[in-house]
Homo-oligomer: A and B are copies of this chain.
């Protein structure tokens, strides 16, 4: 092993690297046997089992993006050198002691981008082509002709101009839409976005958008970003799409804006509370499309996540820089054009 940060133990030289895998699945994530080809795997499911597994582990793989167990068991991480999260968002993983530590955190940036972009385009087209009403009329055996909207030259505002936001913008631009981006700070436009505006300018941008999609990470600066004032600033014909995190939206304000026809529709894959409670008013609202936090989850994604980690593990073993390193203060991995 060429890893020069810590002198490998004799066991490690023989390949007995210890990796803790924190998973909500009893047998661990699909593909965990692929990991066992490369390291000794300790499986943990909660604070107690994580506390038992961490001592001696140099790497922690977190496959449950909702977990807060690491914060509770942090004192047991005696040899930890690297944490990898098999999700794009790492908001629930972060806590002050981890942020302040030298331990790098990597994420699954890139894996979900293409499928999320397809999901967003699907929802835009379902709105434009009135497809939900096609299905409703079909259930009633009713032949009801309507004229429908085209998406050509319609304006999509992508809030969050990172890896996922760029992939959304690229696909929707290819499909004939105009796309603009919003990031923490204004940047020059690129081959995807006509322009990338600062989040502080969002209120001035919203009225011109036909579709607004949230592709931002959940951070202090995006939590609650879409509130009553933001929905009021949107055009009455505009639709709102959230594939980021539920807490970026004030759900009560969204329900009120939809009920008051301040916006024309919403497609939601993420929610403040997941699963969305069965008695939540969103389920029955017209022009709302609900999916179960699955926008990124293409067939084969679990296996793809394992392969992505193994590629980074090879870099770690070779003493090379890890890819997809998360800026722990900002809560996401930079880049993504």
CB–CB A122/B119 < 8 A: no
How many Å from the CB of A23 to the closest CB on chain B? 16
Any chain B CB within 8 A of the CB of A48? no
Q: Count this chain's copies in the assembly.
A: 2
Interface string of A193-219 (1 = CB under 8 A from B): 000000000000000000000000000
Further pairs besides A141-B278, A145-B292: 4, Cβ < 8 Å: A118-B128, A119-B129, A145-B297, A147-B299
Task: Determine the chain B residues whose CB is within 8 A of the CB of A150 once the complex forms.
Answer: 114-115, 118, 298-299
Q: Bin the interface of chain A by size.
A: 35 or more
CB–CB B126/A298 < 8 A: no
Task: Determine the chain B residues whose CB is within 8 A of the CB of A125 once the complex forms.
Answer: 118, 121-122, 125
CB–CB A149/B298 < 8 A: yes
Task: Determine the chain B residues whose CB is within 8 A of the CB of A114 once the complex forms.
Answer: 150, 152, 176
Contact of A121 with B301 at beta-carbon distance under 8 Å, contacts A134-B289, A283-B138 already known: no
The CA-CA distance from A137 to B299 in the complex, in Å, is: 20
Task: Determine the chain B residues whose CB is within 8 A of the CB of A301 once the complex forms.
Answer: 147
Interface members, chain A 142-176 (any B CB < 8 Å): 142-152, 171, 174-176
Any chain B CB within 8 A of the CB of A103? no
Contact of A297 with B147 at beta-carbon distance under 8 Å, contacts A122-B125, A125-B122, A278-B141 already known: yes
The CA-CA distance from A289 to B268 in the complex, in Å, is: 22
How many Å from the CB of A189 to the closest CB on chain B? 20
Task: Determine the chain B residues whose CB is within 8 A of the CB of A171 once the complex forms.
Answer: 175-176
The CA-CA distance from A239 to B299 in the complex, in Å, is: 18
How many Å from the CB of A154 to the closest CB on chain B? 11
A115, A118, A128, A142: residue with the most chain B Cβ atoms closer than 10 Å:
A118
Interface string of A299-315 (1 = CB under 8 A from B): 11100000000000000
Any chain B CB within 8 A of the CB of A25? no
How many Å from the CB of A327 to the closest CB on chain B? 28
Interface members, chain A 231-287 (any B CB < 8 Å): 274-276, 278-280, 283-284
Contact of A131 with B121 at beta-carbon distance under 8 Å, contacts A143-B292, A150-B114 already known: no
Any chain B CB within 8 A of the CB of A92? no
Contact of A294 with B148 at beta-carbon distance under 8 Å, contacts A125-B118, A129-B118, A135-B289 already known: yes
Contact of A292 with B174 at beta-carbon distance under 8 Å, contacts A114-B152, A131-B131, A135-B135 already known: no
CB–CB A299/B148 < 8 A: yes
